[in-house]
Amino acid sequence: MRRVTTVADFATWLASRTNPEKAADWDPVGLQLGDPSAEVETVAVCHEVTEEVISELEANGVDLLVTYHPLLFAKTNRILSGRSPQARAFQLIQMGVGLLVTHTDFDVAPGGMADKLAALFKLREVDSFGADPDEPEIGRVGDFEGTLAAVDALATDAFGVSGLRVSGNPKRAVERLAVVPGSGSSLIEAAAERADALVTGDVGHHRVVLARDLGLAVVDPGHIATERPGIGALYEMVSESDQVVAVDLTDIDPETWA
């Protein structure tokens, strides 16, 4: 028989595994919506709070939603109905569903987002790295045996060919490979010091030019794609709690590009 727990107690339990104090300063991790003293029996886990996620919550009774992407990134002074992050927050409040965020803290957590991406590319002797000493070390870098074409093939097998972009000579040997889940172009300089190639998402033209100048090859499967290997680990983490019933909504993919 499960003992009764509260939003605050469950948030504390999850924090003991994700260490939110290690999140980036700009990242609104922790409880975003809800009553900390409310009782919790059912906790759903999603990648991002989309309209489809809201529909699933409406159809299934859930007390708390754990999301990887924060719903409210910027400060807001209006919570109105409609179709927007603020409107989805309004719907959650109406349904009485609390919202708990674990983002860059989960990126760097043992077995979290970055580690799962490193494992997908079979990196060995893995180290962490970041762009700034004051920011969490979201990047992972390790030994890799193969060419850039081999990195491309692993990415294609994992994520599909649609939208995947590669910058560099396919025959180039890759002995050290860096990976950054999500949007990691800010780590290009740091990656170039440690690796032959970088796998990450959201890399713009001018950042790729910089990477080329630094001698760094880039494989960009897209923002969401690089996060998929780790999002299942978040559900598994929540499932480890013997205090709640976990509901898996991580198969609702928030990919915005067809």
pLDDT of res. 31: 97
Point out the residues of the chain with pLDDT beneath 70. Answer: 1-4, 258
Instruction: Name residue 58's beta-bridge partners.
Output: none
Beta bridge partners of 176: 143
Tell me what pLDDT residue 2 has: 56
234-238-239 Cα angle (round to 5): 110
What DSSP designation does 214 have?
Answer: T
Query: What residue type is 42 in one-letter code?
Result: T
Reduced to 3 states (helix: H, G, I; strand: E, B; else coil), residue 248 is: strand
Give residue 222's domain range.
107-226
Mean pLDDT for the chain?
94
DSSP state of 22: G
CA 194 to chain CA mean position, Å: 23
- Whether 190 and 155 map to the same domain: the answer is yes
* Model pLDDT for residues 76-124, shown as the tens digit of each residue: 899 999 999 999 999 999 999 999 999 999 999 999 999 999 999 999 9
Sheet architecture: strand order including 217-220: 124-129, 139-147, 173-183, 197-201, 217-220, 165-167
Q: Which of 228, 220, 219 is nearest to 174 (CA)?
A: 219
88 shares its domain with 59:
yes
In a domain, 253, yes or no: no
Number of structural domains found in the chain: 2
Coil, helix or strand for 30? strand
Asked, for residue 254, whether it belongs to a domain, the answer is: no
Q: In this predicted structure, what is the pLDDT of residue 230? A: 95
Is pTM, for the whole model, over 0.75? yes
The tens digit of pLDDT for each residue in 126-138 reads 999 998 888 899 9
| CATH label of the domain that carries residue 153 | 3.40.1390.30
